[in-house]
Amino acid sequence: MTPAIGLRLGTLRRRLFVLLAVTSVLTVVGVNLVWLPGALHDVTSARSELQLVAVRGVRDQIELFLADKEDALTAAARQFRAVLLGGDVSQMAVVGHRFLQREGAFEEIGVVDGHGAWRYRLSRREVVTHASADARPPVDLVSDGGAVIWGSVVTTETSEPWVTLAAPLSEPAGDAFVVGVLNLKVLWALTSDVQVGQGGRAYLVDRRGGLIAADDPSLVLKQLSFAERPFVRSLLAEGSANGVNGFYTNERGIEAMATGLHLDRVGWGVVVEHPRAVVARAVERKLLFFAVLTVAGILVSAAIGHLLSRRLTRPLERLRLGVQRFGRGELDHRVSIETSDEIGELAQQFNQMATELGASHARLEERIRDATRDLARRQHEAEELARVARTLTENLEVSQLADRVVRTALDLFAVQSSVLWSRDPDGSLVALGISGQARNGFRVGDVLPRGVSLAGRAVSQGRAVWTRDVFAEPDLVVTAEQRTRLEATGDRAILCVPLAVKGETIGVLSLGDDSTREFTTEEITLLQTVADQAAIVLQNANLYVESQTQRLQLTQILESTSDGVLFVDAGRRVQAANYHTGELLGCESIPLVGGDLGAILGHECTPASAAELLRTCDAGLTAGFVGEGRGAAGDLEMPNLKRVVRWETRTTRDAADRTVGLTITLHDVTREREIAQMKSDFVSFATHQLRTPLSGIKWMLELGVQEREVSEQAKSYMHDALGAAQRLIQLVNDLLDVSRLESGRMKTAVQAVDLVGLTRNVLGDLKPQIDDKDHRLTVDVSEDILEVAADPQLLRQVVLNLSSNAIKYSRPGGRIMVRLTRDHELVRWQIQDTGIGIPKESQRHLFEKFYRADNVVALETDGTGLGLYLVRLIVEQMGGRVWCESEEGQGATFFFTAPCGKGGQPLAVA
Amino acid sequence: MLDANQGVHMRKRFRSLTALSVIGLVVALVSVLNAAPPARTVRVAVLTPGLTFGEILVGLREGLDHLGYREGRNLILLVEDTKGIGPEVKAQAQALIAAKPDVVVTMGTSHTAAAKAATSTIPIVFTWVGDPVKSGLVPSYASSGNNLTGVSVYSGPLSGKRLEILKEIAPNVRRILCIVGKDSIAEISFGVAQKTADQFGLVLIRRNVGSRDDIIRELSAMPTGAFDAIYHVPSTLVSAHLNLLIQRARQDRVALMAHEDDFVAAGALASYGADYRRMGAQTARVVDKVLSGVAPAEIPIQVPEKLFLAVNLATAKAIGVKPPLTILERADRIVE
C-alpha cells in the first residue's frame, strides 16, 4: 500500500514540476527571441558607424598633411616671387636649398615659367642639367584661380609613390608656377600606425585606384592597384559625405567590410576596412550570450518548478511519513498542521490519537526514567559542559558570545536570571550579556561601579561569592539604583564567580533566583568551570576583534591608494593584492590572490621586463633581502596596453624578523615617460634645427672677417657677432649632448684612455685663459695611476668643463691645483681653486639641470647651468661619481672618479 | 521507499545539470583566455666586411633589440667579419650558410653576391648595396623573385648627385681622382659619375684597385697636384679603407667627397647619402619581417629613409674651400 501511495505522490509532484518548468522555459525563450534580432542589427550598424568615424579620422590627418604641404609650397612661391622681383636670380638657389632642408617630404622644388620651361630646379636625387631643365613637369599647369594644382601620382624606379604639385608664382595667378615633387612615402607611417580597431587597416588610393599608402608599405612597393574593385571605383567616381560602404575580398583573400571617403582636394580615396569575420564574431558573441542566457533561464525555471512542486506536495508527504514513524513506535511524533483543509483535519485527528496512546505509554515509562534520572543529570552536566565549550568557540563576536554564555548558564542551572559582566580598566563592571528575568532590571551596557553589589565583591575577593538573600546580606554595598534594578528582576539568591585569565579578573558571571535558596558546592564548581571557559573565549574574541579592526584598517589604506600593492610568498604566489594591482597589470578579470606572479605578469608584460622583476624576487627570497636592504625598482612594459608601470619591491618580515615574502608596489608612470620622451625629442629636434643655421652664420662671419674690403669697425662688429654665435653654438651643443645622454642615443666608443695626458692636453688648450687671469697652475699625479675606461671625447668634455669653471670663477692671480690619485679600481681626479666658492645651500643642487649658484649668477651672466649637469651625466654613464667640497669665499674642490680600464697599463708619469 | 529514491534521483539530476553547465562555462572561458604563442630563439647570421661597416652592425643590433630580439635570450647572432674584402669571402659565406641560420644579413654588394652564390634557399637580407638591380642581384625593386630582399643604399644612382654637390661646394675643381674597386657597384657608380662629369666638363682620373695594397700603391703613384679633389666611388673595398683616401686628401689639401657622414666626421669635406646606423635599424625591420614568415620575394627592396648632407667646415678651412650658404642651408650635419 505504502509504495503505491509514494508512487502516486511522485507522479503528482512530477506533473506539477513539468507544468511549471515548461511555462517558465517558454517565457524565457520567447523574450530572448523578441530581443535577439534587434541586438544583432545594433552590432552591425555600430560597426559601420565605428568604421565611418575611423575613416574620417584618417581622412582628416591626410587632409592636414596635404594642406600643410600646399602651404609650404605656397610660402616658397611667395619667396621665389620676392627674389624674382628683387632681380637677384642667384638667391633662388638659397630659397630652394632652404626649402628642401626644411621640407623633408619634398624630393624636388623648382620654378616653371609661362612657356613651361624650368627657370630653376633643385632635386635631392637627380643631377640638374640643361637637358633635365628642358623636360616639362608632369603636371597640367593650368591656372585654377590661385589654388595649388595636383598632378597624378607616379611610381618611381624604387616603387615609391611621388606626386607633383604646383603653386602659382604670382597673385592673381599668372602663367609661372613653383613646382614641387612630394614623396608620399611619408604617408606610410600614418597608415601603418593608425589604430582602426581589431583586425582593421587603412589605405589610400590615387585617382586611378593605385595604392599610395597602406598598413604594410610592402603592398605599395609592389605597385598594387585596386581599380578593379567596384567599391574603389564607386568611391573615386562619386564619394559621399557619409562615406561609401562595401564588401570585397582583399588582396590577402580576406572577406572585408570597408568604408571609404573621397579626398576632394586631390581626387584620392581613403578607405578603412575590417575583416567580415570580426563583425561575424560580434554576432556570434551575441548568439552565444543568447544561448547562455536561455540555458541559465531553463536551469532556473527547472529549479523553481522543482521547489514549487515539492512545497505543494509536502503536507501529504509529512502525513505519510508521520503514519510510517508512528507505526515504527515513535509515539511522541506529531504531524505539523500547516493547512486548515481536509489534509489539516486529518493530521489533527492523527495527532489526537497519538497523544492518547502516548500518555498511556508515558506512564509506563515514568518509573524507568526516575531510576535513571540521577545518572542522566550527571551525564547531562558533563555533556552540557562539553556543549558549552563547543558552543562558545563557534563564534568570536563578543555580544553574541556573551549572550550564549548567559543563556547557557540559565539553561544549565535552571535559575531565573543570568548576567555576564565585563570589567573595565577603572574597575567598574559593564553588562555584556543578560538573560531571563535579569532583562527586567538590566540592559546591556549598564555600569556597576567598582566594589558595588555581589559582583563587585567577587572581583575584589577574586573568588566565587554567593548569598541566599541579596537584600539581607551584611556589609554589602548596594546603591539605590542597583537596588531598584535587583527588585525589578525579582532575584534574591545570587551566585557570582569571577572570570579570570592569567590571574587577572576580566569579568563576572552571575546567577539569580527568586527563592532564598542555597547554592550547592557542585553548582558553584560547575559555574566556575563555565566561567573559566567563558573567560578564555571572551579573551580570544577581544583579540579577534582587535585583529579584524587592524586588518580592516590595512585594507582601507591599501585600497585608498591609486598605486598597486601586492604581497607574494616565498613560492612567488600572490597572498594579497589591492584592486589597483589588477587594473595596472591588465588582469582585472582574473583573481590575483593565489595566482603565480610569473603567470600574472605574463598576461600583458613584455617577457624581458617581467623576467627582471621575477629575477629580483627570486634573488630577494633566496638572500632574505632585496638590493642590500634598500629594495629594488624597475619598469614593467605593457605594449598592448601602451603602459609602463614602475615597480618597487622590499622583503616582508614577520614578527620574528624572518623573511616571509615580498611586498611589491606598482605605480603607473606611462604619462611621465611619454612626457620625458616628448621633451627629449623636442629638445633634440629644436637644437638640431638651430645648430645648422648657426654654423652657417658663424662660417659666413669668419669669411667676412677675412675680407680685406671690410672696414675695421665692421670687422669689430663681426668679431662680437662671431663670439655670440660661438656661445650660442656651445649652448646648443650642450643641449644636444644632454638630450642624447638622457635618451641613451649618444654614440660612445669606450676605450682605455690616458687621463693624465688628456688632462695636460686640455690644460694646454686653456693656457691663454689661465695666463690672461694670471693664475698659478700645478698638476700632481700619483705614481700608480692606470688608464681609465671611457669615451675619450666625453671624458675630455668633463675635464674641460671642470677646468674652465675653476679658471672662470677664480679671481685674477688665483691658484689652481689638479691632482690625480688611485683609489683601488678607480682613478680619482680633482681640481681645487681659490675662487668664490659655493654656498652650502647651493651645493646639493649644483649638478642639477639649469641650476646656477646665487653668487655665480651675480658675478657672471654667461653660464647656462648645463655644464656641471653634463659632467654628472657623462661621469655616471662611465660608471663613476662626481661631487664637490667648498666653503663660500674660500674656493672649491671638484672630484670625479673613473673606472680603470681592463688590463690597464701603468702610465709613465712625467 | 520508491518516492524517496525518486526525490534523491531528481536532486542528483539537478546537481549534475548545474555542474555540467559550470564546467562548460569554465572550459569556454579558459579557451577564450588562452594566451600568445611561445617565443622561439632565432639564428641570424651576419656577413660583414667590418672596419667602417661596424656602425651598420651596431644599428642592426639596436634595431633587433628594439623589436624584441635579445641576444642570449631569443636571438643568436653569428657574425662573420671578413675584415675587408678578399678571395676568401666566398668560403666564409659558405661556412656561414653551413651553420643553417634562419636568415643571413649581408653588407655590401660583394658579400651579398657571395652569399647568393652559397644558398638559394636560406633568406638573405642585404644592406648597403649600391644598386641591387644593375648589380644583377635582383630583377626589380618591387620583387626579387628569389631568396633575396633588403635595403639598397642607392649610392649608384646618387653618384651623379654627389659630384654635382662637390662642384657646388668647390667650384674650382676640375681633375678628380676616382679609386674604383672591383665590385659591380663601383663600375655602375663610376659610369653614372662619368656621365655627370661630362655634363659639367670635369675630368675623372680613374685608378682600378683590387686590394688595400693596390689603394696604397695607386695613391703613392699620384704626384701632388695631379688632382684637385678625390671622389669616393662606392665599393666595399674602398669604403672599408676610406681612411687612406682621407689621409691623402688632408696631405694634399684637396676636397674629398664621400657617401656616408661618418667619413665627414673623420675628415672628408662632404658626403651625401644614407647613414650607417639608420640603415642597420631599417635592415632589422626587414629581418623581422622575414623571421615572421614572409618570403623574401614578397618583400620589395627598400631605399634609405633619409639622405643626409654633411659638411666638414674644419676641413674646408684647412684646404681653403668656402662652401656657399646654399649648401650650409641644406646641410643636415655640419662638423666644425
Record: contact B328-A692, CB cut-off 8 A: yes
Q: How far apart are CA A14 and CA A349, in angstroms?
A: 29
E strands, chain B, are 42-48, 75-81, 103-107, 124-129, 148-152, 175-180, 203-208, 229-231, 255-258, 270-273, 308-312, 333-335
Q: Please, where are the H alpha helices in A778-900? A: 792-808, 840-843, 854-859, 867-877
CATH class, range A561-668: alpha beta
Please name which of B221, B240, B247 lies closest in space to residue B86, comparing C-alpha atoms: B240
HSE-up (13 A, CA, CB side) for residue A305? 22
> How, if at all, do strands B103-107 and A161-168 pair?
unpaired
Q: Virtual CA dihedral for A242, A243, A248, A251, nearest 10 degrees?
A: -150
Record: contact B328-A7, CB cut-off 8 A: no
Q: What is the CATH number of domain A748-899?
A: 3.30.565.10
HSE-up (13 A, CA, CB side) for residue A739? 18
Is the pLDDT reported for residue A189 higher than 50?
yes
Contact criterion met (CB below 8 Å) for A417 and A486: no
Per-residue pLDDT band at A896 (split at 50, 70, 90): very high
DSSP H or E stretch at residue A638: strand A632-638
Give the best residue of A18, A92, A97 to mutate against chain B (max B CB count within 10 A): A97
Which pLDDT does position B2 carry in this prediction? 38
Task: Tell whether B41 is within 8 A of chain A (Cβ).
Answer: no
Please name which of A216, A94, A184, A899 lies closest in space to residue B326, comparing C-alpha atoms: A94
Q: How far apart are CA A474 and CA A103, in angstroms?
A: 111
Each domain of chain B, given as residue ranges in start order, spans 42-153+275-298, 156-273+308-335
Which pLDDT does position A97 carry in this prediction? 87
Please name which of A322, A424, A309 lies closest in space to residue A16, comparing C-alpha atoms: A309
In B2-21, the residues whose Cβ lies within 8 Å of chain A are 2-4, 6-7, 10, 14, 17-18, 21
Task: Tell whether A302 is within 8 A of chain B (Cβ).
Answer: yes
E strands, A716-842, are 751-753, 776-781, 788-790, 815-823, 826-832
3-state secondary structure of A120: strand
Question: What's chain B's length in residues?
Answer: 336
Planar angle of CA A198, A201, A206, nearest 5 degrees: 165
Alpha carbon of B220: minimum distance to chain A alpha carbons (Å)? 32
| Residues A776-783, mean pLDDT to the nearest whole number | 90
Smallest Cβ–Cβ distance between A125 and the set B142, B161, B325 belongs to B161
Is the pLDDT reported for residue A906 higher than 60?
no
| Residues A527-539, mean pLDDT to the nearest whole number | 87
CB-neighbour burial class of residue A12 (10 A; exposed 0-12, middle 13-18, buried 19+): middle
Q: What is the CATH number of domain A674-742?
A: 1.10.287
Record: contact B330-A98, CB cut-off 8 A: yes
In A40-99, the residues whose Cβ lies within 8 Å of chain B are 93-94, 96-98
E strands, B134-202, are 148-152, 175-180
Mean predicted lDDT score pLDDT of chain A: 83
Contact criterion met (CB below 8 Å) for A722 and A698: yes
Which pLDDT does position A688 carry in this prediction? 73
| Residues A77-90, mean pLDDT to the nearest whole number | 82
B176 bridge partner residues? B204, B229
Contacts of B295 in chain A (CB under 8 A): none
Q: pLDDT tens digit string along A641-658? A: 888 999 999 888 887 788
B44 is written with which cell numbers? 641570424
Which pLDDT does position A131 carry in this prediction? 60
Neighbours of A400 (CB within 10 A): 13
Which of A490-504, A547-561, A567-581, B15-29 is predicted with the least confidence, judged by mean pLDDT?
B15-29
Smallest Cβ–Cβ distance between A159 and the set B68, B141, B332 belongs to B141
* CATH 3.10.580.10 is right for the domain spanning B156-273+308-335: no
Same fold, A674-742 and A748-899: no
| CB within 8 Å of B214: residues ≥ 6 apart | B208
Task: Tell whether A695 is within 8 A of chain B (Cβ).
Answer: yes
3-state secondary structure of B308: strand
DSSP H or E stretch at residue A541: helix A521-560
Contact criterion met (CB below 8 Å) for B152 and B301: yes
Neighbours of A546 (CB within 10 A): 10
Q: What is the pLDDT along chain B (336 residues), one digit of tens a residue?
A: 334 444 445 455 545 445 444 444 443 333 333 333 236 789 999 999 887 788 899 999 999 988 889 888 889 999 998 887 777 889 999 999 999 999 999 998 889 999 999 999 999 999 988 888 888 899 888 777 889 999 988 877 888 999 999 999 999 899 999 999 987 788 888 999 999 999 889 999 999 998 889 999 999 988 888 899 999 998 888 888 889 999 999 999 999 999 888 889 889 999 998 888 889 999 999 999 899 888 898 888 888 888 889 999 999 988 989 888 888 888 888 888
A789 bridge partner residues? A752
Q: Which residue has the higher pLDDT, B46 or A414?
A: B46
Task: Tell whether B161 is within 8 A of chain A (Cβ).
Answer: yes
Q: How far apart are CA A266 and CA A256, in angstroms?
A: 26
> How, if at all, do strands A429-436 and A447-448 pair?
antiparallel
Burial string for A171-204 (b: 16+ CB within 10 Å, else e) reads eebeebbbbbbbbbbebbebbeebebeeebbbbb
Which pLDDT does position A176 carry in this prediction? 83
Which pLDDT does position B188 carry in this prediction? 87
| CB within 8 Å of B120: residues ≥ 6 apart | B146, B147
Planar angle of CA A501, A502, A508, nearest 5 degrees: 30
Is the pLDDT reported for residue A495 higher than 90?
yes
ipTM value for the complex: 0.73
In B129-148, the residues whose Cβ lies within 8 Å of chain A are 141-143
Which pLDDT does position A1 carry in this prediction? 41
Q: How far apart are CA B112 and CA A142, in angstroms?
A: 49
Which of A236-250, A757-771, A809-823, B129-143 is predicted with the least confidence, judged by mean pLDDT?
A236-250
Contact criterion met (CB below 8 Å) for A192 and A161: no
Contact criterion met (CB below 8 Å) for A262 and A204: no
Contact criterion met (CB below 8 Å) for A586 and B33: no
Alpha carbon of A734: minimum distance to chain B alpha carbons (Å)? 15
| CB within 8 Å of A314: residues ≥ 6 apart | A338
| CB within 8 Å of A360: residues ≥ 6 apart | none
| Residues A286-297, mean pLDDT to the nearest whole number | 79
Whether cis (ω within 30° of 0) applies to the bond prior to A172 is: yes
Q: How far apart are CA A683 and CA A739, in angstroms?
A: 7
- The DSSP output letter for B121 is S
Burial string for A405-439 (b: 16+ CB within 10 Å, else e) reads bbbbbbebbebbbbbbbbbeeeebbebbbbbbbbe
Q: How far apart are CA B125 and CA B107, in angstroms?
A: 9
Smallest Cβ–Cβ distance between B326 and the set A94, A691, A729 belongs to A94
Task: Tell whether B30 is within 8 A of chain A (Cβ).
Answer: no
Smallest Cβ–Cβ distance between A3 and the set B2, B199, B300 belongs to B2
> How, if at all, do strands A632-638 and B124-129 pair?
unpaired
Phi, psi for residue B176 in degrees, rounded to 5: -120, 125
Q: Which residue has the higher pLDDT, A90 or A798?
A: A798
Phi, psi for residue B218 in degrees, rounded to 5: -65, -40
- The DSSP output letter for A824 is T
CB-neighbour burial class of residue B313 (10 A; exposed 0-12, middle 13-18, buried 19+): buried
Which pLDDT does position A720 carry in this prediction? 84
In A649-688, the residues whose Cβ lies within 8 Å of chain B are none
- Fold topology of B42-153+275-298: Rossmann fold (3.40.50)
| Residues A374-398, mean pLDDT to the nearest whole number | 73
Record: contact B39-A158, CB cut-off 8 A: no
| Residues A101-116, mean pLDDT to the nearest whole number | 85
Q: How far apart are CA A636 and CA A605, in angstroms?
A: 6
Which of A40-49, A149-158, A586-595 is predicted with the least confidence, judged by mean pLDDT?
A40-49
A258 bridge partner residues? A246, A273
Neighbours of A329 (CB within 10 A): 8
Q: Which residue has the higher pLDDT, A564 or A392?
A: A564
- The amino acid at residue A83 is V
Phi, psi for residue A206 in degrees, rounded to 5: -85, -170
Per-residue pLDDT band at A264 (split at 50, 70, 90): confident
- The amino acid at residue A408 is T
Contact criterion met (CB below 8 Å) for A626 and A632: yes
**Multiple choice CATH, A393-525, 3.40.1390.20, 3.40.50.300, 3.30.420.40, 3.30.450.40:** 3.30.450.40
Which pLDDT does position B46 carry in this prediction? 94
Q: pLDDT tens digit string along A422-449? A: 998 888 999 999 999 999 999 999 999 9
Q: Please, where are the H alpha helices in A328-420? A: 342-392, 398-413
Smallest Cβ–Cβ distance between B303 and the set A104, A158, A698 belongs to A158
Q: Which residue has the higher pLDDT, A497 or A731?
A: A497
Is the pLDDT reported for residue A256 higher than 50?
yes
Task: Tell whether B266 is within 8 A of chain A (Cβ).
Answer: no
Which pLDDT does position B134 carry in this prediction? 83
> Residue holding cell 582636394?
A265
Smallest Cβ–Cβ distance between A299 and the set B21, B299, B329 belongs to B21
Task: Tell whether B160 is within 8 A of chain A (Cβ).
Answer: yes
Smallest Cβ–Cβ distance between A223 and the set B142, B157, B330 belongs to B142
Which pLDDT does position B237 carry in this prediction? 85
Same fold, B42-153+275-298 and B156-273+308-335: yes
3-state secondary structure of A27: helix
Per-residue pLDDT band at A798 (split at 50, 70, 90): very high
Which pLDDT does position B28 carry in this prediction? 39
Question: What's chain A's length in residues?
Answer: 910
Record: contact A303-B14, CB cut-off 8 A: yes
B120 is written with which cell numbers? 638559394
Each domain of chain A, given as residue ranges in start order, spans 393-525, 561-668, 674-742, 748-899
